[in-house]
Structure 1
Amino acid sequence: MKVTFVCPGDELLGIGYMSAVLKQHDIETDLVFDPRLLQDSIFGRTFVTRYLTLDSEFLVSRIIETEPDLVAFTATTNTILWAFEVASKLKKAAEQIPIIFGGPHVTAVPERVIRRDFVDFICVGPGEYALLELVQSLQSGDGYDIPGIWHKRGSQVRHHDRIYQVEDLDQVPFPDKELFYSQLPFYKNPYVIVSSRGCPFNCTYCLQSMYHKLYRKCGAKPYQRRSVSNVIQELVVAKKRWGIKSVKFFDDLFAYNKRWLKEFCEEYKRKIDLPFRCSLHPHVVDAEILDLLKYAGAYTLTVGVESVNESILRDILNRKGSYESMQRSLELMRKSKMYFSVDHIFGLPDESEEDHKKAALLYTHVRPNNILLYWLVYYPKTEIIKHGLERKLIEQSDIELIEEGQGHISYKYAHHEGYQEAYPYYVLFNLIPIRIIPKFVFAFILKHNLLKVFKLPMFVVALKQLFDSLDPRSSRNEQLNKTRHLFKYVLAMRRRKPVKGKGLA
């Protein structure tokens, strides 16, 4: 039995874990990877963009070439339409191959995905052992009454009421990194790892708010953590086998339990001693946590600020903690001398220009090394949708588009009056981390409302991003290096001669 995973855009740890479990039970796996370069290119559909894009026909050929018994697609809301296009063409070309869908979008709206005629199964929630049981059932011919698995029987859809959650994460094998590294060896650095699943917080704009509802309904745990020894053991193996040079903890929140963190930092320093990056929550940061992280080798920290308006944080985003607490945390990070970035969201319900000014003054004071800016995206089944509807920022008809993956409705904000108000601050926030610009310049601009007089050109954002890409500690530098290697990967794929299957021209 062989399972081929179809993966868009980046290394996905979930696929690595599922492959590891399958291989542990003597089930072969393969990977068809689409970097999805230039998908939203400003250059349009030129010869160059077409050549650097692996079209769906090419991907179907690659899938068939692997000779799978089951094809597994993983998709977010951003990539679900891509997955639908590839899967529909695969079903026409090789209708005998069953197809399963999984991932955040599928878990959010399973009833919408399973109704597609080219989808045979879907997996809701964690997939490692649900997929294993499905493959074993396909081998044996038994039924599909498996937690987390939805399937079709004639015109009916059958599904289990529960999801498949592992009680002890230490019992799950380490992810199958070879699946990605054999094709994409540059993913070794930084080595991506998670020490936990889920998040202890339940922010309304985050997909975790959807997962929290699902897990409560199924009696599952919304947050789990591996033991320190298990995490360190994986890194010892990675260091020995792959010669890794740096580590990226992909946890939604890394430094949460201080007792766990103390044990981890001691063991990490003693046995791994490589630079690493991780994410923090501003209201659980203190001097002791920062000292521990610095001692262990943290070289880049990312902290989610999102907004400086306490009412928005508390009543709309469900993020507890005061502005003063957030400010203290950022000041401690500045004093620690570690490179740190802050996340900030524009387009939040009830935000005002005063909020933008307040945030600009805060960031001017603490001078983070980078400000990662986002426009609010309404993802399916997240709690933030309720607030958007109440304030008429989105309409009921938009929900259909969101759940079908046809638009995340962040674009609607561009036509909202708040966008014109936020835009100058979006540009300004990109300039604030540039240390050669003195603080008093930003203070003067804000005090005299000069953003209303002089409109900062958008090209300064591109210049700032270029500047960031030169700093090896920045996420943009990591992305630039990754993109360079992905272009080489696409060119190598283009030189292959794909196998044509039934239905392929």
Structure 2
Amino acid sequence: MMKNILVGINSKYVHTNLAIRYLKKYVEQNSNEKIKIYESSINNNIQKIIRDIIEEKPENIFFSVYIWNVEMVFKIVKEIRKVLTKEKIYLGGPEVSYNPTEILEKNKEIDGILVGEGENILLNLLTKNIEEVKGIYYRNNNKIIFNGYEPLIENLDIIPFPYEDSELEDVHKIVYYESSRGCPFNCSYCMSSIDKTVRYFSLDRTKKDLKKFIDIGTRLVKFVDRTFNLDKKRYLEIWKFLLENYRENITFHFEINANIFDDEVLAFLKKVPRKLFQFEIGVQTINEDTMRIINRKNDLEKLFHNVTAINKNIHLHLDLIAGLPYENYETFKKSFDYVYNTKCEMIQLGFLKMLEGTEMKANGHKYNYKYLDFPPYEVISNDFISYEELCKLKDIEEVLDFYYNSQKFLKSLDFVVKNFFESPFDFFESIGEFYKNKGYLEIAHREIAIFNNFVEYYKKIGFPKLDEFLEYLKFDYLFLGKPGYYPEWIKEEKDKELYKNIIEKMEFKSSREAHKSTELEKFSINMETDKKEDVYVFFEYTKDGTKYRIIK
């Protein structure tokens, strides 16, 4: 029995690598081989990672390679080979699966590359002669050999549950889970479209796994199913199971096609407790020509209806991709405004990546695509959008995170967009340009600085109604939590007697606790009606968020 190590280098500390856990469990269930998992992140010291792996004294090292870690993995492999000269080093994962021969030719340190679904490939590699193993490119007498592809696993239930109980108890980690593999759609930019066979874990198995997450107290479970809601009977049964076994402080995240929700599904989702479900919905574009060329069709009217029907209690992330064919700066603006007007919690503004194995990469020359030669292979320009325009969208992406995705500027942002801009996109374009000109995009910002920058921007542009804007911004600032101090732009007005009377009627253990958990402030605008009138707002800061009430 050899000493084997599976290496997963994640993009962030909070992430977990699902693939290497499946591989370990499957091999150990079906053989006498033992595998150690080594997990780190791209933000950690590379020399420490190299040392950690070498000190394990492995005989076989397997790296899980993705777009976020490929450059680091190749650096690590080269350095490990200088010390471990006879041990075997193998790579697997999407980033090395579509040009394995080229990778092996250029990187003599690598002994082999696993391609395809990894469980049986790794099991066979560790228990058979390599000449008998399918799904691996390897070296033999200075030649690169490939024995064909390993068939997919038809019954996914034979794959063990991937996690240890102790891992699920870590509230700082995101847990990834899949109830299916494959995708029936054919989006030209996506690697998932390559595997069109959709296979499911059984409902009994899926429910058993989900109950474990619920019982142990996992905080966030992200389904990696490419499109979770393909089979209505199946996905509704899973959702009903989660609702029947509901407990607080757990969230399930799904990638969803919102076009195919019907009235029955919408009625069910309106009953789901807030924070139980998160949906990520790939809109990508509303441009008809673009949708046609990327093999994607959205019923825009139905999509908008479905999203706005559930945005009160389902946390929604809507995705856009800049740089798609036939999408220029002006048409992207329309896509952005469409998504913004759904009032989703988060707009994920991404940029097209030219990935090996995709139709987009193969046909990119038709549209004069230029893109980065290194990860993440993002588009630089094409026939429809210039480098300068994409850079402007990069600036917009950053200020979008500050002022929209943070959900910290709900009142003030709405006031500015409605009063001074023809479209939401125009606002983010404007404040993005302000941030760039001031050099603010090049530095990190504390929360209070982002508020202060908003005030500076407002005054710089010279918008009227400054006093009204500052009232809305004051509300947003106080809604975040008990303020440690008041910035100079806040006009602070309190009524100590009224404040005392309110908190005395509440069930706080002490006056100190009451003051720590509440705030009272006078406003010249009623935040619920937008009517100009003098009111007080009482804020109560609880573990479930901020509550407020208007006192006239």
Range class of TM-score, shorter chain: 0.7 to 0.9
Of residues 65, 72, 85, the one that matches 1:95 is 85
| Per-residue deviation, residues 432-465 of structure 1 (Å, max 9, x unmatched) | 5642136464354136967777734255896799
The answer to whether the 8 Å contact 1:287/1:332 transfers is: no
Give me the whole-angstrom Cα distance separating, in 1, the residues matched to 2:268 and 2:141. Answer: 58
Kindly indicate whether residue 146 of structure 2 is the aligned counterpart of residue 136 of structure 1: no
Q: CA deviation at 1:321?
A: 2.6
Give me the whole-angstrom Cα distance separating, in 2, the residues matched to 1:258 and 1:453. Answer: 43
The answer to whether the 8 Å contact 1:130/1:164 transfers is: no
Kindly indicate whether residue 300 of structure 2 is the aligned counterpart of residue 323 of structure 1: yes
Q: CA deviation at 1:408?
A: 0.8
**Number of the residue aligned with 2:287:** 309
Give me the whole-angstrom Cα distance separating, in 2, the residues matched to 1:392 and 1:235. Answer: 46
Alpha-carbon spacing, 1:69–1:321, altered in 2? closer, same or farther (3 Å) = same
1:270 maps to amino acid: E
Of residues 73, 82, 85, the one that matches 2:75 is 85
Aligned pair count?
A: 428
The answer to whether the 8 Å contact 1:347/1:418 transfers is: no
Of residues 295, 318, 328, the one that matches 1:342 is 318
The answer to whether the 8 Å contact 1:32/1:59 transfers is: no
| Per-residue deviation, residues 197-222 of structure 1 (Å, max 9, x unmatched) | 1222221111213x33xxxxxxxx53
Unmatched 5+ stretches in structure 1 = 38-52, 213-220, 472-505
| Per-residue deviation, residues 10-66 of structure 1 (Å, max 9, x unmatched) | 3111111000012212321112222111xxxxxxxxxxxxxxx322x4323212222
**Number of the residue aligned with 2:8:** 7
Give me the whole-angstrom Cα distance separating, in 2, the residues matched to 1:466 and 1:318. Answer: 40
Structure 2 length normalisation: TM-score? 0.69
Give me the whole-angstrom Cα distance separating, in 1, the residues matched to 2:104 and 2:38. Answer: 22
**Number of the residue aligned with 2:183:** 199
The range that moved more, 272-281 or 433-442, is: 433-442
Q: CA deviation at 1:148?
A: 0.8
The answer to whether the 8 Å contact 2:340/2:347 transfers is: no
The answer to whether the 8 Å contact 1:445/1:451 transfers is: no
Kindly indicate whether residue 56 of structure 2 is the aligned counterpart of residue 66 of structure 1: yes
Kindly indicate whether residue 333 of structure 2 is the aligned counterpart of residue 357 of structure 1: yes
Of residues 66, 86, 97, the one that matches 1:107 is 97
Kindly indicate whether residue 234 of structure 2 is the aligned counterpart of residue 228 of structure 1: no
**Number of the residue aligned with 1:270:** 244
SS of the equivalent of 2:192 reads helix
Alpha-carbon spacing, 1:188–1:259, altered in 2? closer, same or farther (3 Å) = farther
Give me the whole-angstrom Cα distance separating, in 2, the residues matched to 1:418 and 1:77. Answer: 25
The answer to whether the 8 Å contact 1:364/1:442 transfers is: no
The answer to whether the 8 Å contact 1:236/1:272 transfers is: no
Give me the whole-angstrom Cα distance separating, in 2, the residues matched to 1:330 and 1:231. Answer: 26
Equivalent pairs: percent with the same residue? 23
Following superposition of structure 1 onto structure 2, how do residues 413-432 of structure 1 map, counting pairs within 5 Å? 416-419=387-390, 422=393, 426=397, 429-430=400-401, 431-432=403-404
Following superposition of structure 1 onto structure 2, how do residues 445-460 of structure 1 map, counting pairs within 5 Å? 445-446=421-422, 455-457=433-435, 459=440
Of residues 380, 385, 390, the one that matches 2:361 is 385
Kindly indicate whether residue 42 of structure 2 is the aligned counterpart of residue 36 of structure 1: yes
- CA RMSD across the alignment: 3.3
The answer to whether the 8 Å contact 1:192/1:250 transfers is: yes
**Number of the residue aligned with 1:491:** none
**Number of the residue aligned with 1:16:** 21
1:254 maps to amino acid: F
1:326 maps to amino acid: L
Give me the whole-angstrom Cα distance separating, in 2, the residues matched to 1:172 and 1:453. Answer: 52
Structure 1 length normalisation: TM-score? 0.75
**Number of the residue aligned with 1:375:** 351
Kindly indicate whether residue 231 of structure 2 is the aligned counterpart of residue 257 of structure 1: yes
SS of the equivalent of 2:298 reads coil
| Per-residue deviation, residues 106-132 of structure 1 (Å, max 9, x unmatched) | 112211222221111211011111100
Give me the whole-angstrom Cα distance separating, in 1, the residues matched to 2:296 and 2:412. Answer: 32
SS of the equivalent of 2:78 reads helix
Larger strand proportion of the pair: 2
Give me the whole-angstrom Cα distance separating, in 2, the residues matched to 1:466 and 1:130. Answer: 50
Alpha-carbon spacing, 1:128–1:355, altered in 2? closer, same or farther (3 Å) = same
Alpha-carbon spacing, 1:447–1:88, altered in 2? closer, same or farther (3 Å) = closer
The answer to whether the 8 Å contact 1:246/1:276 transfers is: yes
1:28 maps to amino acid: K
Q: CA deviation at 1:70?
A: 1.0
Following superposition of structure 1 onto structure 2, how do residues 144-223 of structure 1 map, counting pairs within 5 Å? 144-177=131-164, 181=167, 186=170, 190-209=174-193, 211-212=194-195, 222-223=197-198
The range that moved more, 355-364 or 195-204, is: 355-364
Q: CA deviation at 1:415?
A: 6.6
Give me the whole-angstrom Cα distance separating, in 2, the residues matched to 1:432 and 1:149. Answer: 46
Alpha-carbon spacing, 1:425–1:176, altered in 2? closer, same or farther (3 Å) = closer
Give me the whole-angstrom Cα distance separating, in 1, the residues matched to 2:66 and 2:145. Answer: 23
SS of the equivalent of 1:125 reads coil
The answer to whether the 8 Å contact 2:156/2:200 transfers is: yes
| Per-residue deviation, residues 346-375 of structure 1 (Å, max 9, x unmatched) | 222221233233234323432111111112
SS of the equivalent of 1:262 reads helix
Q: CA deviation at 1:144?
A: 2.7
Q: CA deviation at 1:318?
A: 1.3
Give me the whole-angstrom Cα distance separating, in 1, the residues matched to 2:271 and 2:376. Answer: 44
Larger radius of gyration: 2
Larger helix proportion of the pair: 1
Kindly indicate whether residue 136 of structure 2 is the aligned counterpart of residue 122 of structure 1: no
2:264 maps to amino acid: E
The answer to whether the 8 Å contact 2:114/2:121 transfers is: yes
| Per-residue deviation, residues 279-330 of structure 1 (Å, max 9, x unmatched) | 2123223443344445465332221111121221121x21123322332232
Unmatched 5+ stretches in structure 2 = 452-475, 481-552
Q: CA deviation at 1:420?
A: 5.4
